[in-house]
Amino acid sequence: MVKILDGVYRTLLYGNYVGQAKSANLERAWKQAGDITDIPRIEIGKSYIVTDNDLISASYFSVKNISLGYTLPSRWLKPAGIESVRFTATGDNVFMLTHLKGMNPQYNFTGGTDFAYVPTRTITFGINVKF
């Protein structure tokens, strides 16, 4: 399994700036000796160090395009004077399964995450009628 550094998530956990967004997972972070958690506090002085806890699976599964179409049988349409009727549906960026929350692993080639969001999902329906 390939793993990458999730710098975006790490920033939400260990950011040092006033007014910076924070991850809701900090509610269960390590706070004092004896705490048991999956969100450790790793700090040397005022700097947070990178550990393998910041690595996440880079695996993903996505469906980019789906196109469906159906043409009604002509024998149903002839009595109404219609030559053909075709219904279509097309979906782009239908879904993606990934460990990243909102970010897209397909758009980074540097070994870490970046602020690259999942492309817009588009679903289009159509009808084509020939007389």
pLDDT 10s digits, 39-67: 766 666 666 677 777 777 778 888 999 99
* Residues 52, 4 contacting (CB under 8 angstroms): no
In the chain, the DSSP E strands lie at 3-5, 43-44, 47-48, 55-57, 60-71, 84-98, 122-130
pLDDT of 75 reads: 93
How far is residue 80's CA from residue 96's CA, in Å, rounded to a whole number?
A: 43
Domain ranges of the chain: 3-130
Relative to beta strand 55-57, strand 122-130 is unpaired
Task: Quickly state the pLDDT bin for 108 (edges 50, 70, 90).
Answer: low
Residue 30, φ and ψ in degrees, nearest 5: -65, 135
User: Would the pLDDT of 84 be above 90?
Assistant: yes
* Mean residue pLDDT across the chain: 80
Is the confidence at residue 87, as pLDDT, over 80? yes
Dist CA 39 CA 28 (whole Å): 7
> For a pLDDT cut of 90, what percent of the chain falls above it?
31
Report the alpha-carbon distance of residue 86 to residue 39 in Å, rounded. 54
Cβ-defined contacts of 42-46 (< 8 Å, 24+): 42/14, 46/16
Question: What is the C-alpha to C-alpha distance for residues 43 and 45, in angstroms, rounded to an integer?
Answer: 6
pLDDT of residue 88: 98
